Amino acid sequence: MNDFTRAYVQQLDKQDPLASYREEFYLPEHGIYMDGNSLGLLSKRAERTLLESLADWRELGIDGWMSGRHPWFNLSEELAALNAPLIGGKPEEVMVTGSTTVNLHQLVASFFKPDGKRTKILADALTFPSDIYALKSQLELRGLDPSEHLVQVDSPDGRFLVEDDLIAAMTDEIALIVLPTVLYRSGQILDMPRLTKAAHERGILIGFDACHSVGAIPHDFHDWGVDFAYWCNYKHLNGGPGTVGGLFVHKRHFGTTPGLAGWFGSRKDKQFDMDHTMTPAEHAGAFQIGTPHVMSLAPQLGALEMFNEVGMEAIRQKSLALTTYMMDLIEEMLAPHGFFIGSPTDTRQRGAHLSLEHPEAARICKALKKHHIIPDFRAPNIIRLAPVALYNTFTDVYDVIVTLKQIMDNKEYEAFENVREVVA
């Protein structure tokens, strides 16, 4: 049977051991969702646990903090235990709190300790802009000029980072390193164990932004010796728009004074003593700041159930099968139309999305939406497509690429302006 037929992909879907999880999600009617690397879809389980917490509020009022279906006082710790297997941490090393950027601020405030000639932070030139904003502001708060004290390693091609270059930049002037686990544009996975080992050999602490890898690839942050990490839970983990983020702090750093202290970082039995001297929690909970956003935590209870049922190895296996088949289809059907795959071909280096580059990318994305296909656009020329293991199918992948071919064959994209929408 031809590998590039609808009958073939339908057979693949029948053999998919994760096929039943598709029914757990609210899928677009008459459409295909390919933007799970920006915002995951709502699952019925996430809806259920959110409604249960709303019911606790309705029925119990303030007693919902200690009673009800999901008592709020320990909800972040409960979710941390569900997150821990996904990032390869011990439950006490994980906390669900804050947002990506707030958690980065907290971790840098706690672990960036300029001393002597070690006054610089090492990052890269391809990381998500919010990380750079936070790092620059942390330097400025210490009276350090970011133009001198923030080192950003360049990419030779604007797509990928070279790990040898990152290691070469780990000089005796670097006090802290913050890098992505997966590059948000190309989907390149960095070699986290190698980079962590190299940093520690040079006496440097290293942390990772795991926003584009958590829920998509397996991690072993504890065993790799990563000092800290942080991530959002609304992409591959399907926790809902703006849902509470996560952080990891290796247990060897327990006892570190939080750079940004707040009462929810207190030891639980001391929090309501109302003492003006803080007694921090003895684990990653110390890095919490304020009262958790309960209604943004609640959907994660249901969403994370599925990841712990399936396991990250099975999710990763299907994800790679989907993106590999998508790459094959692109080469077969779209090569004459000037597309370039700007993601790694090596499965060991590829995350869970593909970056498809084209000069008319913004217009093509708009044409896809007219066909009820939801992609993601990144300026100036990238169409990101993310077939998600839990709810996308091989048939979805086939239909997306066939539709792209139709759009290009018929020049349908010419009906649209080549400018991004407000939310790309």
Q: Which residues are annotated as a binding site for pyridoxal 5'-phosphate?
A: 100-101, 128-131, 209, 212, 234, 263, 291
Please enumerate, by residue number, every residue annotated as part of a binding site: 100-101, 128-131, 209, 212, 234, 263, 291
Say which of 136, 159, 235, 318 is annotated catalytic: 235
Look up 14 and say whether it is catalytic. no
Look up 384 and say whether it is catalytic. yes
Look up 420 and say whether it is catalytic. no
**Of 122, 110, 103, the residue nearest 176 (C-alpha):** 122
Name residue 188's beta-bridge partners: 350
Say which of 4, 73, 128, 416 is annotated catalytic: 128
Distance separating alpha carbons of residues 36 and 31, to the nearest angstrom: 14
**Of 403, 350, 345, the residue nearest 372 (C-alpha):** 403
Vertex 320, ends 318 and 324: CA angle to 5°? 120
Residue 347 carries which side chain, given as an amino acid letter? T
Look up 33 and say whether it is catalytic. no
Say which of 384, 391, 394, 413 is annotated catalytic: 384
Distance separating alpha carbons of residues 288 and 293, to the nearest angstrom: 12
Say which of 21, 228, 234, 264 is annotated catalytic: 234
**Of 120, 39, 102, 22, the residue nearest 386 (C-alpha):** 39
Half-sphere exposure of residue 51: CA atoms within 13 angstroms, side-chain side: 7
Residue 23 per-residue DSSP state: G
Secondary-structure percent of the chain, ordered helix, strand, coil, rounded to 5:
45, 15, 40
Look up 128 and say whether it is catalytic. yes
Residue 363 carries which side chain, given as an amino acid letter? R
Asked if 190 and 134 touch (Cβ cutoff 8 Å), the reply is no
Relative to beta strand 94-96, strand 246-249 is antiparallel
Say which of 35, 56, 124, 209 is annotated catalytic: 209
Name residue 373's beta-bridge partners: 32
Distance separating alpha carbons of residues 60 and 63, to the nearest angstrom: 5
Angle of helix 44-60 relative to helix 294-310, nearest 10 degrees, comes to 140
Distance separating alpha carbons of residues 240 and 300, to the nearest angstrom: 8
Catalytic sites, residue numbers: 128, 209, 234-235, 384
